Amino acid sequence: MDSINTKLESRLGSMVMSNPIVPASGTFGNGKKFQSFYDINVLGAVLSKSVTLESRTGNPQPRIFETPFGIMNSVGLENKGIDWFKKEILPFLTTLKTKKWVSISGFTTQEFVDLAESLNGFPIDAIEVNVSCPNIHAGGVQFCQNQNTLKETLHKVRKCSNSFLIAKIALETNPLDEAIRIISDEGFDAVCLGNTVRGLAIDVVNKKPFFKKTIAGLSGPAIKPIALRAVWEAYSFNPNLPIIGCGGIMTSSDVLEFIMAGASICEIGTANLIDPFAMPNIINSLSAYCSQNAISLRELVGIAH
């Protein structure tokens, strides 16, 4: 490994990664299509599209709405379920040389447990537990917004899995300090902040909400200050819990801001939908920055505090 790559080396707790760039779940498919553009092993990790226990057709069309500084989406976790994933996607993921992460999404605590258990024994490096999903047993409230549910879910997942576990919570999680405490207390290895921000679009011609599900998720540059604030606060609450920053990250400068605010790793989402080469370009820019400034990225984690 040359000096520039060494300077890009990042640590997420006990996990050592070649660089801090990871695709956000749902914006990279499962990696196969992007492999035709470039060798995705250059990424710090490849994170799969969220998988659920059963196959899901997702939400009805329309699913995408452009805003001046981002996009809104209402995809609804469309996927073919864990059995298909293990048969069709895991064999591809396990051929990769870089770190292999799998995102799981459940609608009950037991679904999360079943999903985590089903991945035991597979050569993956981490499971991202998407607890920003709605809990159907609690009126659709996100798991991360109910402290008791969050604690129970993380406790049971940790108990059934020996994997490196990441809790993905919403940027709007409140109170954030309590969620961070629960994630740490339940033995999770890292937290990902976060998901899209809930928003609304109105179809002025038809005089009704644009999306059939009414509320949709806003992503892109518009939410970067919100995501950056969440990372800053999480690091302030517990600098010992490794943080993955996610939300509106488009450039290497954005990545540096998140790292300086306290993130060790950054997930890139909407940028992948605009430019398939966004992530390797960011990695190259980070290499140049580290070389020009004779500094490693690990030295910058939380430095702005």
Read off the pLDDT of residues 19-52 as tens digits, 9 standing for 90 and up.
999 999 999 999 999 999 999 999 999 999 999 9
Q: Where are the domains of the chain?
A: 3-58+77-195+222-300
* Rounded distance between C-alpha atoms, residue 51 and residue 71, angstroms: 22
With pLDDT > 70 as the criterion, what percentage of the chain qualifies? 97
Structure confidence at residue 245 (pLDDT): 98
> What band does 136 get if pLDDT is binned at 50, 70 and 90?
low
> What band does 2 get if pLDDT is binned at 50, 70 and 90?
very low
Structure confidence at residue 5 (pLDDT): 73
Interacting residues of 294 by C-beta distance below 8 A, sequence separation 6+: none
- Concerning whether 133 is annotated as a catalytic residue, the answer is yes
pLDDT one-digit tens code per residue, 192-239: 998 999 999 999 999 999 999 999 999 999 999 999 999 999 999 999
Residue 72 has pLDDT above 60, yes or no: yes
pLDDT one-digit tens code per residue, 206-215: 999 999 999 9
Interacting residues of 22 by C-beta distance below 8 A, sequence separation 6+: 43, 44, 45, 46, 47, 101, 244, 265, 266, 267, 268
Structure confidence at residue 134 (pLDDT): 74
Active-site annotation holder among 133, 144, 192, 266: 133
CB environment 207-238: b (16+ within 10 A), e (fewer): eeebbeeeebbbbbbbbbebbbebbbebbebb
> What band does 4 get if pLDDT is binned at 50, 70 and 90?
very low
* Rounded distance between C-alpha atoms, residue 303 and residue 235, angstroms: 11
Say which CATH architecture domain 3-58+77-195+222-300 belongs to.
Alpha-Beta Barrel (3.20)
Task: Report which of residues 139 and 102 the model is more confident about.
Answer: 102
CA-based max dimension of the chain: 58
With pLDDT > 90 as the criterion, what percentage of the chain qualifies? 94
